Amino acid sequence: MRSQPCFSACIIALVFGVLQVACATRKPFVSPTPEKPTIETPEDAKQLLIRSYGRMRSLKASGEIEVRLGENERKPATFVLMLERPDKLRLRAYRPLVPFIFELVSDGAACWLYIPSEKTAYLNEDCDLSKGADGGIAISAETIIAALAVIADPEKLSDAPSQIEREDDAVGLQLIEEGGAERTIWLDPQTGLAARQLLADREGVAQAEIVYRKQALEKETVIPVDIEIVLPQRHVSIVLRTSDPQVDPEIPAAAFEFLPPVNTRILASKDVAQDWFRK
């Protein structure tokens, strides 16, 4: 575990200042390749994923986030984010007339969920899903990184134990990760691009399904720009629509550090029951 991260308010203001939503620049959407790619072995699938998604080191983006609780309850917001492979993330979500509603920060060692309206910061040293007895949930930084980067660490992908699975409309690359968790990336056999991901725990229980609904090309890198993240255990789905993604911007190290503001409660996420999606 790394030492306690810290930052100043002026650094955060500077970093997020460059992420203010502006007129979105439309990126070319990815078209089917002229030739159908070969996906016969795990190595074939890994090479396709690395070629499409593996070049990017960092990402800045803004856009819309919508949390769906059942069929009729939807909570829209806007967001800005920064991401750096393999495990650093900062995402801040806003609603009209509210400074911001929550901030999710991962420095690669621990994750924080800060909710200013509650003057509370939840620390999660495992960076997994934050759950509460009354159904409260916070989507993990790991899941958001998987959704946006598709492959968080291209080098680990190359060496990961894997096998090929097949369905009628997709080819799956099943990966066994550290700790026994499973990840299956399903590729479109016509394009070789990721169609969806399934993240499961070591018991094989699905924790998140990521569906890639639209992808764009920026600096020879494929960027998912319309994503749905389904959390089946909680009957919640989150839609992320990004605009004007910036590939490989320079991001200062302090951007992923977090020190709770003065008079902020600090709670371990696993010990609380906060349903912040419903705020």
What pLDDT, on a 0 to 100 scale, did the predictor assign at position 29? 64
Say how many domains are in the chain. Answer: 1
Q: For residue 180, what are the domain limits?
A: 9-16+29-272
> Does residue 195 lie in a domain region?
yes
Mean of all residue pLDDT scores within the chain: 82
> Does residue 178 lie in a domain region?
yes
Residue 236's DSSP bridge partners are 69, 231
Question: Token digits for 213?
Answer: 């609904």
Which CATH number goes with the domain that contains 67? 2.50.20.10
What pLDDT, on a 0 to 100 scale, did the predictor assign at position 73? 84
What pLDDT, on a 0 to 100 scale, did the predictor assign at position 268? 81
- Please determine, for residue 63, whether its predicted confidence score (pLDDT) is greater than 50: yes
- Please determine, for residue 21, whether its predicted confidence score (pLDDT) is greater than 80: no
In sequence order, the 6+-apart residues with CB closer than 8 A to the CB of 91 are 79, 80, 81, 103, 104, 105, 141, 144
Q: What percent of the chain has pLDDT over 70?
A: 80
| Per-residue model confidence as pLDDT tens digits over 203-215 | 889 989 999 999 9
What pLDDT, on a 0 to 100 scale, did the predictor assign at position 16? 40
How much is the average pLDDT of 59-80?
Answer: 90
- Please determine, for residue 96, whether its predicted confidence score (pLDDT) is greater than 90: no
> Does residue 162 lie in a domain region?
yes
> Does residue 4 lie in a domain region?
no
> Does residue 1 lie in a domain region?
no
> Does residue 3 lie in a domain region?
no
How much is the average pLDDT of 183-202?
Answer: 95
DSSP-derived secondary structure letter, 4: P
In sequence order, the 6+-apart residues with CB closer than 8 A to the CB of 158 are 46, 50
**Under 8 Å between Cβ of 120 and 101:** no
